[in-house]
Structure 1
Amino acid sequence: MVCDFLPQVPLLLAVDANDYPLAFMFIDNGHMEALFVDPACRGKGIGAALVRHGLARHPAMTTDVNEQNPQALGFYEKMGFKRTGRSALDGQGRPYPIIHLKYGIP
């Protein structure tokens, strides 16, 4: 699925001093489609830095989080995203509930 995405949306990539990729993010029309951080690099602020960069360009950015991923949900809520809804199915119609989030809601 990621390969199908690549030619269609901008990729923001975080790399180390040797240009080794540590994390990436896709934003399409103000919606963060994906944020992936190398598990060995989690908790070091890389994902937060990418999100802040995205928010500088898209102050009302939205994203979706799998309900079964409380760590990711907590991360986004800590970053200031608020819940705006829930879907029983994911974007491919599978039974994985999704939480919809938006930044900038008081």
Structure 2
Amino acid sequence: MPRRPVNVHSAYHAHVYFDADTVDQARALCEEAGRRFKVAVGRVHEKNVGPHPRWSCQLAFSAAEFERLVPWLEAHRNGLDILVHGLSGDALRDHTEYAYWLGQDWPLDLEALR
């Protein structure tokens, strides 16, 4: 099971990354997460948004869902890469110090967070 970042937060985001070949897979994963867990499912962005270097869909969830949702994402991501990070109010730290990856990590556009 993935370890929670050192600094525990009350809320988190998971950004599911995909491309044109895996958009349907990502959409299905996010929709299923929305049915199974108390998460807010964001739009499926078929373009790069914010600091994210790939197309993505955001899942927003509370710390209460962390221990159930994150292991489920790891088990069901089927090769998709997912950035998980806490929400501290400092977007730069959230996407660096308070972040970790399920799958491959991608370099973020940190200038978009400054």
Query: Larger relative contact order (C-alpha < 8 A, sep ≥ 6)?
Result: 2
Greater helix content = 2
TM-score (structure 2 length as normaliser): 0.39
Greater strand content = 1
TM-score (structure 1 length as normaliser): 0.41
